[in-house]
Amino acid sequence: MKGKFLCGLLVSLLISGCGDDNTPTEKVLKEQFSNQFHGRLILDSIDIKETSVDGNKRTYAADGLLSTGYDLYTPVASLTDYIVVQKSWDKGKDIKFSATLNSLGNKDTGWKTIFSSLQMSETPKGNP
């Protein structure tokens, strides 16, 4: 009888610990992503999977879609007083990406997130 009680108590403790959701919200991720890349890249959608936890510091594998905040142009010729440019990237064109996301904090104190090891299916080139 004691064994069943202890086993039940252990299972309930494990389940309650797993229910602690300390994942940054999508709104927080979008704002901090845009700030990290100075508004040039915009996070459209993201799917994150937790890979490690150390207190309030968590690491996630992130996949999703991003886009540029501007149409981008590349110089193609230079005249005396002018530079001829060609449009090289359309604003809002979706780009698939994967990255490592490091998060520090919780829902009560707020989060500080940093995206690293960003890999994109295409790399937008040019200047706004």
Q: What is the pLDDT of residues 70-120, one digit of tens each?
A: 888 999 999 889 999 998 888 888 999 999 999 999 888 899 999 999 999
Count H helices, E strands: the chain?
2, 6
- Asked if pLDDT for residue 12 goes beyond 60, the answer is no
Q: Which residues make Cβ contacts (< 8 Å) with residue 110, sequence separation at least 6?
A: 28
Can you tell me the mean pLDDT for 43-64?
95
The whole model's pTM is what? 0.73
Percent over 90 (pLDDT), the chain: 54
Q: What is the pLDDT of residue 16?
A: 45
- What Cα–Cα distance (Å) separates residue 126 from each residue in 2, 25, 68, 90? 69, 31, 11, 11
Nearest to 90 by CA among 41, 39, 119, 124: 124
Domain ranges of the chain: 21-120
CB 72 within 8 A of CB 87: yes
